[in-house]
Amino acid sequence: ITTLFPNPASNFVNVEINNPIPKSELLVNIYSIQGQLLKSFGSGIKQPAGSSNLLYPIHDLPPGILLFKFTKPTGEQEIIKVVKE
């Protein structure tokens, strides 16, 4: 993952990713700070190779700290903390 913004956010989070594998799926799960799964994205979303910008709606999630967990097709995972206003 290259960039996630804005942070803090209120309605949407923009994610810029660098994907080395063409037509691969990126799985995105959003958790509360307590570890509860709040939202999941990614099933069937094929990403091109190279940089892509993705927009994730969070307006329906409660305010507080959200954990975005990104899982690449290689199994590599990254967790980024976002403050939801």
Token readout for 51 is: 């940089």
Residue 14: name the closest of 60, 65, 57 by CA: 57
Q: Give the per-residue pLDDT at 53.
A: 81
Q: Average pLDDT for residues 57-82, to the nearest whole number?
A: 92
- pTM, full prediction: 0.85
Q: Which residue has the higher pLDDT, 28 or 1?
A: 28
Q: Give the per-residue pLDDT at 46.
A: 64
Q: Average pLDDT for residues 67-84, to the nearest whole number?
A: 90
Separation between Cα atoms, residue 85 and residue 66, nearest integer Å: 10
Q: Give the per-residue pLDDT at 20.
A: 62
